[in-house]
A and B are shown apart, each in its own frame.
Chain A
Amino acid sequence: MLSVQDLNITFTLYDRGLAQKQLTVITQLDLDVKAGEVVAVVGASGSGKSLLAHAILGILPDNAQVSGKMLFKGEPLTLNRCQDLRGKAIALIPQSIGYLDPLMQVGQQVQRTAQLSGLSRPAAKAAVDRTFARYRLAAIVQRLYPFQLSGGMARRVLVSTAVVSQAELVIADEPTPGLHPDVVTETLNHLRELASEGKGVILITHDIEAALQIADRVAVFYAGTTVEIAHAQDFSNNKIRHPYTQALWRSLPQNEFIPISGSQPTPEALPDGCLFSDRCPWVTQECQLERPPFLQVRGAPVRCIHADR
């Protein structure tokens, strides 16, 4: 359904005075999503997770240059096509109710989304009623304002906005941080249901555990590149390939809780070779020469020349 290949995003910024500089924030990013599938995108903040979502929705700022290939249902995703598709075939489930209009009742807002996606007014109203009922939101909730919603209700309203638009591809950006485990599970189950209905779902999160609850595959981002696209079961089967993925997994409190030192390279000072080379326990001279290409190791792509060890 969606295929992103070798995506690069560069920002042009003013440095000093009128001098400009180029900042490459996404390099060689890859991702593909099939219909009926949940693909989780995990990584630290600054790894390019949200920028990818913005690129797919065509809402990057004007000073961004994008190169590489983005295909949606086999056709190139140009800026014009993004504008046509977003809110209709491609929908975003935002991070928090901060993205809703604080002065508008939530029922009206969701209905407006449905109308903008092409439904007539009565059809949109019916779609809102149906969707709210599906997510156990009482009729009275439609007349509430965003600040009156509890955390769990807010989540269900945000999911509703994506459901009424009949989107085929749903992007959920960090839908779960700081929520009670029951609400997390409920939100994730809603996403899983959307996939079972044949939609493609991208779940952007820093929470690996949440991702593994529902994802079919997990794409791990680091410093603006995809380092590995693993199958969800690879994590518990000890089959994950990239040293960064392994480090993330080991650092969970229920595993070893041991972090690796250092931090992600900044876009101003990206190494020439592998982006993870300065923190990697397996690093050799070869790693520092060029960016590693995707290699197939144990049935999945990984950007590491030592991954088959």
Chain B
Amino acid sequence: MLIGKQLAFRYPHHNWIVRNFDIAIAPSEVVGLFGPSGFGKTTLSKLLAGYLTPTQGQVTIDNSPLSDRGYCPVQMIFQNPELAVNPRWRIHKILAEKQSPDRFLLDALAIHPSWLDRYPHELSGGELQRVAVARVLNPATRYLIADEMTAMLDANTQALIWHRVLDYVRSHNIGLLVISHDAALIKRVCNRAINLMQVGTSR
């Protein structure tokens, strides 16, 4: 179980971005999170994935706090893949950052072998996002946070990526947090959804 308890975050001398926020995600559960811009959705996911340290509160996995060493078992997939990969690395090196995905996963995501020797700027956004997804679908990942993962993509690529990710998280017992403005998408892929307008973060 991934638990964020009484999470609060602010930059020094600034207002609270997130305050008194509780969240629990069970393995193989798919939870949606939505709310207007500026309600701290991305800040929350960065707290859960260890990119930011909460000012108050704690993130735990199975009752032990999130370690800041080694590969984080909570991984994020961002909206813009070109900002999430090293522009000077070839695709095969990017994919191998944790461990090289097997052929089966690459095929499932329709990652063409000819892409592996290219640089990120030589792939389109949809192609690169599939690479970013393949990179985190490995045995060390136990929770995934998809922050507007497919907002930049066409409907067909969006459906393709979601099917592969959902298949993977179901078969590997991974908990998934889905952040999206697209109500139809949340309704389609999630077991339950959290509306930040109702639960509130800082307001």
Partners in one complex: yes
Seen from chain A, the residues whose Cβ lies within 8 Å of a Cβ on chain B are 42-46, 150-152, 177-184, 206, 208, 247-249, 251-254, 257-263
Would you call A263 and B127 a contact (CB within 8 A)?
yes
Listed residue (A150, A208, A261) with the most chain B CB atoms within 10 angstroms of its CB: A261
With A150-B38, A252-B155, A261-B110: A45-B181 Cβ-Cβ less than 8 Å = no
Looking across the interface, which residue of chain B has its beta carbon closest to that of A42? B154
Would you call B154 and A206 a contact (CB within 8 A)?
yes
Would you call B187 and A178 a contact (CB within 8 A)?
no
Mask: chain B, 32-50; 1 = CB below 8 Å from A; 0 = not: 0000111000000000000
The A contact surface, by secondary structure, is loop
Could you tell me the distance between the alpha carbons of A259 and B165 in the complex, rounded to whole angstroms? 13
Q: Within the complex, which residue of A43, A44, A179, A208 is in contact with B37, where a contact is CB–CB below 8 Å?
A: A179
Would you call A253 and B159 a contact (CB within 8 A)?
yes
With A178-B151, A179-B37: A44-B157 Cβ-Cβ less than 8 Å = yes
Would you call B110 and A253 a contact (CB within 8 A)?
no
B125: chain A residues within 8 A (beta carbon): 45
Looking across the interface, which residue of chain B has its beta carbon closest to that of A247? B156
Looking across the interface, which residue of chain A has its beta carbon closest to that of B161? A259
Task: Give the shortest distance, in Å, between B125 (CB) and chain A (any CB).
Answer: 5
B151: chain A residues within 8 A (beta carbon): 177-178
Would you call B110 and A262 a contact (CB within 8 A)?
yes
A261: chain B residues within 8 A (beta carbon): 110, 160
Would you call B156 and A251 a contact (CB within 8 A)?
yes
A254: chain B residues within 8 A (beta carbon): 184, 188
Could you tell me the distance between the alpha carbons of A253 and B157 in the complex, rounded to whole angstroms? 12
Which B141-159 residues have a C-beta within 8 angstroms of A? Answer: 148, 151-159
The B contact surface, by secondary structure, is helix
Could you tell me the distance between the alpha carbons of A249 and B153 in the complex, rounded to whole angstroms? 14
Would you call B185 and A253 a contact (CB within 8 A)?
yes
Would you call B187 and A180 a contact (CB within 8 A)?
no
Task: Give the shortest distance, in Å, between A152 (CB) and chain B (any CB).
Answer: 8
Which B96-131 residues have a C-beta within 8 angstroms of A? Answer: 110, 112, 124-127
Would you call A150 and B37 a contact (CB within 8 A)?
yes
Task: Give the shortest distance, in Å, between B127 (CB) and chain A (any CB).
Answer: 7
Task: Give the shortest distance, in Å, between A11 (CB) and chain B (any CB).
Answer: 13
With A150-B37, A179-B181: A260-B156 Cβ-Cβ less than 8 Å = yes
A183: chain B residues within 8 A (beta carbon): 37
A43: chain B residues within 8 A (beta carbon): 154
B79 located at the interface, meaning its Cβ lies under 8 Å from any Cβ of chain A in the complex: yes
B192 located at the interface, meaning its Cβ lies under 8 Å from any Cβ of chain A in the complex: no
Could you tell me the distance between the alpha carbons of A179 and B110 in the complex, rounded to whole angstroms? 28
Looking across the interface, which residue of chain B has its beta carbon closest to that of A206? B154
B84 located at the interface, meaning its Cβ lies under 8 Å from any Cβ of chain A in the complex: no
Could you tell me the distance between the alpha carbons of A46 and B152 in the complex, rounded to whole angstroms? 12
Would you call B154 and A180 a contact (CB within 8 A)?
no
B153: chain A residues within 8 A (beta carbon): 44-45, 206
A206: chain B residues within 8 A (beta carbon): 152-155
With A44-B126, A45-B124, A259-B163: A177-B188 Cβ-Cβ less than 8 Å = no
B127: chain A residues within 8 A (beta carbon): 46, 263
